Every structure is written in structure tokens, then in C-alpha cells.
């Protein structure tokens, strides 16, 4: 069993029979679901940043942005590994800004 709990700017991608499958959710301000969540909590996105400061919508720390919609609750994925699952790549946004899944 594989559990992925994601908060912030790290992405997990699983190789399934040679095909990349994203296993995590990007917690960035351009994520429509995150925009809705922040607006529903009376938060604020300014210049594609939570509270005009932080580029991610979920993070540990940064308590000063709590009133702007920042939370530390991870997206959680539970996945049963299969024989054709070969490897998992976990990297920060610096990698994913340059490379595709």
C-alpha cells in the first residue's frame, strides 16, 4: 500500500507500465479547487499568492497567513501498488517547473 500526503510544493509521480501518473495535488494558487476553498474561507489571493505572499495554498508554518486561507491539511491518496508500478518520483516545484510529469 502506498500513501501520499501532500502539503506545499512537492509532487509525487508514479511510473505505471512506463506511463507517468500524478499521485499528488499541486497546492498552488492556480489550482481552481484551491482558489474556491480559499475564497469560501474568506481568504485572499493577490497576484497568484495567498495573502499576496505565499505561492502555495497549503503549508506547515506561515501561521500569519491562516486568515488568508492557508491551511496545513494535506491531500491524502491511498493506492494499492501493482506489479507494473515501477518507481515513484518525489520532487519540489523547482523540478516540476522545468519538467513534465
Mean pLDDT of 18-36: 94
Mean pLDDT of 19-39: 94
Q: Domains in the chain and their CATH numbers?
A: 2-96 (3.60.40.10)
Mean pLDDT of 29-39: 94
Give φ, ψ of 29 to 5 degrees: -70, -15
Within 28-84, strands assigned E span 45-46, 49-50, 75-79
Within the chain, strands assigned E span 2-6, 10-16, 19-22, 45-46, 49-50, 75-79, 85-92
Mean pLDDT of 19-44: 94
- In angstroms, rounded to a whole number, what is the distance separating the alpha carbons of residues 17 and 49? 36
- In angstroms, rounded to a whole number, what is the distance separating the alpha carbons of residues 72 and 88? 23
Band the pLDDT of 63: cuts 50, 70, 90.
confident
Band the pLDDT of 47: cuts 50, 70, 90.
very high
- In angstroms, rounded to a whole number, what is the distance separating the alpha carbons of residues 89 and 80? 17
Mean pLDDT of 45-74: 93
Mean pLDDT of 24-44: 93
Amino acid at each position: 500500500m502506498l500513501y501520499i500526503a501532500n502539503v506545499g510544493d512537492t509532487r509525487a509521480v508514479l511510473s505505471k507500465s512506463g506511463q507517468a501518473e500524478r499521485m499528488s495535488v499541486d497546492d498552488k494558487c492556480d489550482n481552481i479547487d484551491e482558489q474556491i476553498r480559499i475564497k469560501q474561507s474568506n481568504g485572499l489571493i493577490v497576484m497568484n499568492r495567498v495573502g499576496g505572499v505565499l505561492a502555495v495554498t497549503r503549508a506547515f508554518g506561515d501561521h500569519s497567513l491562516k486568515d488568508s486561507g492557508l491551511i496545513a491539511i494535506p491531500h491524502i491518496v491511498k493506492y494499492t501498488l501493482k506489479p507494473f508500478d515501477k518507481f515513484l518520483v518525489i520532487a519540489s516545484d523547482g523540478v516540476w517547473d522545468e519538467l513534465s510529469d
